Amino acid sequence: MGQELDQILKLLSQKAMFPIQGSVREASTFYTSVMRNASAVASHAACRLMGNTNPILETVASFIELSPYRPCGTFVFLPGHGKLVVNQLNAIAERSLNDHLGYPSELQGCLNWQNVVQLDHLEGLPLSSSDAAAGNIATKIALDDLGLSTRARLCLRAAGEHEKQKLSNQQRMDNKMQEIELGLAKLEEYKSKSALCKVGYYDAFRISKYEDDFKANVTRLELTGIWDEIIEMLNRYELPEPFESRKVWIELATKYRRIVEPLDIANYYRHAKNEDTGPYMHKGRPRRYRYTQRWREHGLRMPVGSSAESCFWAEVEELLLLYRTADPGAFEVIRERTINLERKLDEWIRSNQISNDVFLKGSSFTKWWITLPLQHKSVSPIQGQINREI
């Protein structure tokens, strides 16, 4: 806390011409700490003066630095029937603490009520007491008790309509799952045909000499349209919040990303877009892949960036460019990146996240790897797999 305060004081100094790097983040952290400490626990000394014997205070004091917070001003407590106005500081502290400790029993009591009203269809909410149908007396009473104005009810109706539209959009996207599966099946078949020719589908698509390559590109573009629509709807909050955390969509998105993104990477480097835009991973990677990768990482509680198996070929392309432009034999330029890529590839292959077609004899990755120094290849974790394929 002392270090954070020192940073804030420097930030507020009139002599400071420019903000300190990270000062905004530190100010936010400091403010959060102050507010948390101020609201977490009432002053232990004040409670002892009031004679409070609740054992929870001693327990809390043993592992939490108690706040110097003191009530200030006039407090209004609403116990459910009428109101209680208190301006005596000790009484306010005691009342606040007692109410806080009583929340569990209060909540349990509310849950035991028999006349609970659930507003499941907000879009049909009556705008006034007179609009309520005879069968909705309980709803009418609940809304009247809340004192909702016509404007407030209109807002609830709008929220209900918006949620209803979200569910409708979700159903429409769910109906497209079969179309996505069919497209992926076509690309899987294309991948298998390419492997028979000892050339992975990545290299076959990058060269694009045959009719099958053209058909694969059409399928790729069709799937791109569907996924771009999904991502755009999520950005506009037109789909329910749980949509991207649904297991069925996480699995489908992962399958799509692993099959189709290599084709996007091949297309990117075939047209030399990296010369204008830069490396694929820096500014060329579409949101449909970045977002769906985060779906999987979040859903499986994985570290950020750990599910980048579909980007394998982007790193290969960059290493190829560096290796070709470096001085002859200057493997040291890419040594660390190569070792890191080989380690990841070995893990991805073992967990079936990437297929063995990357090791085929006609694969550009295999052709490049063979040219690497013998000393490096002899200790590479993928040496055996490449030797088996070639």
- Here the tokens at position 327 are 């001085």
Q: Report residues of the chain scoring pLDDT below 70.
A: 1-95, 110-117, 129-136, 328-329
Each residue of 1-25: pLDDT tens digit? 556 556 655 655 545 555 555 555 6
**CA dist., res. 112 & res. 104, Å (int):** 13
How do 84-86 and 75-77 pair as beta strands? Answer: antiparallel
**CA dist., res. 338 & res. 341, Å (int):** 5
DSSP type of residue 245: G
**Element housing 75 (H / E):** strand 75-77
Give this prediction's pTM: 0.69
pLDDT in the model for residue 17: 52
Each residue of 175-217: pLDDT tens digit? 999 999 999 999 999 999 999 988 999 999 999 999 999 999 9
DSSP type of residue 283: I
